[in-house]
Amino acid sequence: MKLPKLVPLLIFPLLLIAACTPLGYQKAQVSPDTHQDGYLDKEVSPGVHIIEVRQEARYALMFHRETTEARFRTHWERRAAELCPNGYTGTPEMISPREARIDEFYCTLEVCQKYPLLSGVAFCKKVYEL
């Protein structure tokens, strides 16, 4: 039986599928020991939030770039709506990690540049109510 020779042929497609797994809506966990994809946000002044979304899935960006970018945009918009329940203005754009506005996503290493992120500023419509 030549089953062991088939194992590498079966493992490669499984790895490829795992690399293309869609990004779930979650806050990114970034620490020296762990690294998890997702979104991060930072309030820079009352009602003004920087929101960035990233996923280190090169194959997802290579084979499904439009779908992956649309998913990033959906997560960005969902987070903006959570932070600004009365609505917001602002739109995100794809940038490289060397342009990241949030320190945890900032990276100048060459390997990081393969994984662009979606970044934008959400301006909440109603910050104060009387």
pLDDT at residue 12 tops 60: no
The span from the CA of 78 to the CA of 112, in Å, is 25
pLDDT at 60 over 70: no
Q: For 14-42, write each residue's pLDDT tens digit.
A: 333 444 455 678 898 877 666 678 999 99
Express as a percent the part of the chain with pLDDT over 70.
71
* pLDDT over 90 percentage in the chain: 48
Q: What are the sequence ranges of the domains in the chain?
A: 3-124
Label residue 31 exposed, middle or buried (CB < 10 Å: 0-12, 13-18, 19+). Answer: exposed
The reported pLDDT for the residue numbered 62 is: 63
- Reported as a pLDDT band with limits 50, 70 and 90, residue 65 is confident
Query: Could you give the 3-state DSSP secondary structure of residue 41?
Result: strand
Residue 98: pLDDT over 50: yes
The correct CATH number of 3-124 out of 3.30.1360, 3.30.460, 2.60.120, 3.30.1390 is 3.30.1360
Q: What is the pLDDT of residues 70-85, one digit of tens each?
A: 999 999 999 999 999 9
State residue 15's pLDDT score.
Answer: 39
Q: What is the pTM of this model?
A: 0.76
Burial call 75-94: b when 16+ CB within 10 Å, e when fewer: bbbebbeebbeeebebebee
Mean pLDDT of 103-129: 87
